[in-house]
Structure 1
């Protein structure tokens, strides 16, 4: 293989993150495949009933390596999902393991009517 000049690199690519969404009466669980990212490079936000996810996979940097061909491109995974506002966002948990981000969103439990005792004479 011969090469002239410096190796060509691919530009950054944006990919829609594949997800699974599991709903129960107690919580909504969202799993997103984000292979190659890390906790520091994942951003999850909730805004007006929309969950937004962004994860970056940086370019591979190998010191003192002379690339003849470099096809791996930095990748950005993104996903937006309308989830509504019935979740307790103060209790959301997130875990990233083996390339999979798992979000658990507890459902806000409806307050049951309660009787107010009356005192007096």
Structure 2
């Protein structure tokens, strides 16, 4: 399936106006990802075909998840290119994480060109059932999300 990109023509004109030559290295334009929730964690899958596993870097800083990788270009020495369509260069993608994420528990694997990042939901953000007791003796305390609330016994 082909995707329509209305900005590709504008992008090529801008590159010509800014002096980017036709022989300049091709750089990756995007890092396609899938993101879904499965139980009590999120799973992010990023396609990084041909990327050296040693160049893949995942970090979290101040609620921002950053994915970095690099695919090196083949040597041009002694080569006469017939066609060259594969991108080379650095990839980077950043995602803002919500407050309900356990950043200490984030884990990542890279296998067959796919980076998989598992992002657990923090315990305090998981839904839970609160038991309600009966008391005819006056106010009772109910603990919700780390706060204690006083309610009337009626």
Q: What TM-score do you get using the length of structure 1 for normalisation?
A: 0.71
State the SS of the aligned residue for 1:35: coil
Between 1 and 2, higher relative CO (CA 8 Å, sep ≥ 6) is seen in 1
Deviation at 1:57, TM superposition (A): 0.2
Structure 1 distance, partners of 2:121, 2:106, is 10
Structure 1 distance, partners of 2:31, 2:98, is 20
1:106-117 equivalent positions in 2, closer than 5 A: 106-110=120-124
Equivalences, count: 105
Larger radius of gyration: 2
Corresponding residue number in structure 2 for 1:67: 79
Unaligned runs of 5+ in 1: 1-7, 115-121
Correspondent of 2:60 among 22, 29, 46: 46
RMSD of Structure 2 on Structure 1 (CA): 2.7
- Pick which of 20-29 and 101-110 moved more: 20-29
Structure 2 distance, partners of 1:73, 1:28, is 29
Higher helix share: 2
